[in-house]
A and B are shown apart, each in its own frame.
Chain A
Amino acid sequence: MPEFESAIIKTYAPNPGASMFLSDESATTKLLVRSDQAQFGLVFGASSAVGEALICATRPDEWLILGSEPAVDAAAAGIDSGGFTNVIPFTHGRSLFRLTGAHAAGLLEKICGIDWSDAMTPEGAVTSASVALTTCDIIRHDRNGIRSYLLMCDRSFGQYLFDALLDAGDEFGISVE
């Protein structure tokens, strides 16, 4: 595997009074499973922790495994390789960001058409939608009770989306973490 290089090449000054945070987690190991078999007992729209890895059902026939390399490898042992199943390393092909803050849903509502209320997208919900006109997989993955979202897009859109999120988060006091 080549050494990982994030699409985020700009440097950002931290905002000391920030109440919302955006971090580049693109180096996270990502493994994509496309299959006509049910995988991990997860239906489209759900996610679940398996060991240290996070497994997300990102499409009706697609699952995404996120985590450290050993954690992803361990979780991948649970893939049902029957039927027509493809397992694709995605680490270098996608950018992954984490947006955290009490008003994170308010930021997403500005640039994405999904209903981010708890009733529609509770902790663990997985969905795909346009975020600032970029196709993203979005996972609600709260941190210590604070609302948090993982956003994954094509690597080539990474720097654009990162800046678009910072721009939309300006009114909420966002900072790069």
Chain B
Amino acid sequence: MLLVPCPYCGPRNSSDLRHVGEAISRPDPNAASPEQWRSYLYLRDNVADWNVETWYCTRGCRKYFKVERNTATNEFRDPPMPGNKIGGKA
């Protein structure tokens, strides 16, 4: 089981989330060359190391967020954890 630190819900089983993939920036479609666009669509670094990824909290808060994961060890680094994730009665 992969425990993914959602910044809103706290640590969650990865089955509650969707792994969107490596976080990459979208080039300007009006300015990008075909090579840049193809690279954006298809090419990934696929490192066996620390990697910034996008996750989507499907079953929880329905938010996209970025987090750093070591793809070799499945550790998460400096995750955007909330100070107090479940509030109880206000």
**A residues adjacent to B (C-beta < 8 A):** 41-48, 57, 59-60, 113, 120-130, 135, 140
Contact = CB atoms under 8 A, between A and B. Distances in A.
Nearest to A48: B90
A121 B86 contact: yes
Interface of B is mostly: loop
Contacts of B86: 45, 120-121, 125, 127
Contact of A123 (B9, B59, B62, B89): B89
Contacts of B88: 45-46, 121-125, 140
Given A44-B87, A135-B59, 17 more contacts: A44-B8, A45-B85, A45-B87, A45-B88, A46-B89, A60-B61, A113-B12, A113-B16, A120-B86, A123-B89, A126-B87, A127-B9, A128-B60, A128-B61, A129-B16, A135-B58, A140-B88
A43 B87 contact: yes
Contact of A128 (B15, B59, B85, B90): B59
A62 B90 CA distance: 16
How many chain B residues sit at the interface, stated as a range, is 10 to 19
A113 B13 contact: yes
A45 B13 CA distance: 18
Contacts of B85: 45
B19 interface: no
Interface of A is mostly: loop
A125 B60 contact: no
A101 B46 CA distance: 48
A129 B12 contact: yes
Contacts of A124: 87-90
B63 interface: yes
Interface string B54-66: 0000111111000
